[in-house]
Chains A and B, each alone.
Chain A
């Protein structure tokens, strides 16, 4: 019972904070964002910080995460040093448009990386909401409903800024767009980031999201991203999570797909104290296709929770999900994946797979693949395994003169490669392969040129 009481206390603390800063939150914010704030706050109060009694959070205890006294960053930080100068996160042989966000606030786009095609807007959500509210009014908080989830509610209540990406109809952004989220604060910080991506019909984009922490303070980042994909549009959404052990990263991504659209998400989690990736994809158009991939390599006391919901709302769609985890030391992992085929959404192919390797007796893995099928002309399946590296395969390699450690690494690399190979941007794939190899070797997984020590 003690836990429940404390949890209520934590929720009350957050609620109290909201009331304290309410005026400030409303004051400089655009109406579009303010319009949802009060309701979202009430939704949060009625739900509270989720406990493990909440079925969606069964395997992730958020209570210790919310415990520390964080500083809330409700205002954009002052002119920091030129981050572009010191922070190098570029992928060799890959030309990208680079955009920086610091503590959830849009910093700017590195002008040296070129000018985006005409009509494309990549800017601060706050700015755009002030200047062109009509652009985002229809889309903001349309997918991420505060009544559905307490973290969404909390985000919507505190939301100030994040990035907004608007791609007009039939515009293809040839170079990938790289979005770098930096966490850098002098104190332990609570960060709220709200992003919105609108891909009009026929638009095409590759997004690469990199999450980093720049010093060893505690961080709690609660971000919500809504992605609207119009007819025949294509969005590839790659995420590289590389934060230190005291950070908690709570990410909610909600995607809606129109007819003939394609989405591909690939989440690579290499480091992070506690990571929760909640992903909801609604295939709300015929012939839509979704490919959802993810891998995590966790050690020490790290925790990963991938929570996906794929809703097939219209017929003739296809979805594939593959999640792979390698758990070392005392790490813990969770996967909850749901395929929901609604009534009359016929001719659906939906597949889901979750494979996990446990390397030690202290590591744990909880997996919960689910199917809710209300239409009959469908092919749906899921599979989940938890096990170890195949001894026979290991033996085979060793008979060929490969040392045990080397053989183990090869096997683990091969295990996760199934997810990595789905990355369609070749230089990025090679880069991530390299980072994974280094991670598996126990080296720090950071880029050579970066002056910052991401994973100290």
Chain B
């Protein structure tokens, strides 16, 4: 046991490796939130009237809402007037090539191990890199444009494709869906927009990297993905954030709309700054992600690897409206030190013969708290629907907690719903078995954790698997062989 404890200690005391601040000049709006600020944000972005009305409606609804307190989280009070709602890197107009990008910015990406050039040349990934809310560089745009795919920053989409934005914005996440979604709708600064036309299979993985950079600015990004009939896209979202002492708020909204027989695969690696060993600092990650399978036989799958953030509040969901549509949720959530996570998924079955799968793997260490919360709801008309949920929790250390809160609501006789959950620590017999075969305890713990999350990591696209492995290594270094 001694050796195991040592490893666990090492694991749980590993420092955050991606903490640094880059000195890019930022253009920050004064702190506080009111209608004027929203009008300024909208004006600065030169938005059409419908966007301003959308924001104002959201803001007015937000004012009447209260911060949700049902999650198994201890959230310190947030003063929304102490946050500045807009921060954009100083404009360096007309970037034509990577050379013109701020060298320090490129350096930031290099430190993160995601050099733009390399990815551009080798990985075949189009990167829409976002630093503090404004998209600075979009690559591979021409290649995508040939296929008719629109992949650009949200502000650009508002300017160039207002009809699409107007039609689909808030279709999956209504303005007043929840407290943080309403806040996001009111003040979101930028994000990504993706449109795949009919019958197009996106030839490459689309990817964005988010980073929070300026101190004291919440980042509110908005992603909208629309997959037309018979299309396919795989979308990657990854994030790392520099080390800060003050809590930063991150309230994003992601909406996916899949039409007839379309398939959208959305993968996330989340590694915001989790706070230090004493629970000081760290990002508050309150995200609303929802996909609607509108068309018949459409499919949306969420895969997430969550290792960062002081507090995570995130429930990627699927609303299965089209008959025979499919929803998937695969998640690995790692919490350490004083991190708290309340995450899971919602699957709402509306159409006939709809299917959903939820696989959630939680790992808690240190003094952290890791909760799965999920809802599977089968409406009376969703005949012959099927759901399978599996939620496993692994406890590393005796001061942490793992919790499971599934809700299952079934309203017809032909549907089958199964849910199972287990909570345990790594068995002494498992370690002993490995030791017996000449594996050190360290290797054994690594192998077991690796095997435990493999089911989910396998769902990640190749390009992303490396990053995910890296993050798991950082979060649980010493235990992954």
Give A residues with C-beta under 8 Å from B: 55, 343-344, 346, 356, 358-388
Closest CB in chain B relative to A162 CB, distance in Å: 34
Given the contacts A371-B423, A376-B425, A384 and B406 also touching, CB distance less than 8 Å: yes
Does the CB pair A385–B419 fall under 8 Å? yes
B401 contacts chain A at the CB level, 8 A cutoff:
yes
CA distance A55 to B348 in the complex (A): 20
Interface residues on B, range: 35 or more
- 0/1 per residue, B393-414, Cβ < 8 Å to A? 1011111111111111111111
Given the contacts A358-B413, A382-B421, A376 and B397 also touching, CB distance less than 8 Å: yes
Does the CB pair B397–A368 fall under 8 Å? no
The prevalent SS among residues of B at the interface is strand
Which 7 residue pairs are nearest across A and B when measured between Cβ atoms? A376-B395, A371-B404, A386-B410, A387-B416, A358-B413, A383-B420, A381-B422
B380 contacts chain A at the CB level, 8 A cutoff:
yes
Give B residues with C-beta under 8 Å from A: 70, 72, 380, 383, 393, 395-425
Does the CB pair A388–B70 fall under 8 Å? no
**What is the chain B residue whose CB lies nearest that of A379?**
B424
Does the CB pair B403–A372 fall under 8 Å? yes
CA distance A343 to B369 in the complex (A): 12
CA distance A89 to B452 in the complex (A): 54
**What is the chain B residue whose CB lies nearest that of A369?**
B406
Given the contacts A361-B380, A363-B413, A383-B419, A376 and B396 also touching, CB distance less than 8 Å: yes
Given the contacts A380-B422, A380-B424, A372 and B408 also touching, CB distance less than 8 Å: no
Given the contacts A383-B421, A385-B417, A386-B416, A373 and B408 also touching, CB distance less than 8 Å: no
Does the CB pair A360–B420 fall under 8 Å? no
Does the CB pair A380–B406 fall under 8 Å? no
Given the contacts A366-B407, A373-B395, A382 and B417 also touching, CB distance less than 8 Å: no
The prevalent SS among residues of A at the interface is strand
List 20 A–B pairs whose Cβ atoms lie within 8 Å, in order of A's numbering: A358-B412, A359-B413, A361-B411, A362-B380, A364-B409, A365-B410, A366-B410, A369-B404, A369-B406, A369-B419, A370-B403, A371-B423, A373-B393, A378-B425, A381-B423, A383-B419, A384-B408, A385-B416, A385-B418, A388-B413
**What is the chain B residue whose CB lies nearest that of A377?**
B425
**What is the chain B residue whose CB lies nearest that of A351?**
B422
Contacts of A343 in B (CB 8 A): 398-399
**What is the chain A residue whose CB lies nearest that of B386?**
A387
New contact pairs (8) apart from A361-B411, A373-B395, A387-B416, CB-CB < 8 Å: A364-B411, A370-B404, A371-B404, A376-B395, A382-B404, A383-B418, A383-B420, A387-B418
Contacts of B421 in A (CB 8 A): 369, 371, 381-383
Closest CB in chain B relative to A146 CB, distance in Å: 23
Closest CB in chain B relative to A243 CB, distance in Å: 26
Contacts of B417 in A (CB 8 A): 384-387
Contacts of B409 in A (CB 8 A): 364-367
Does the CB pair B419–A380 fall under 8 Å? no
Does the CB pair B413–A360 fall under 8 Å? yes
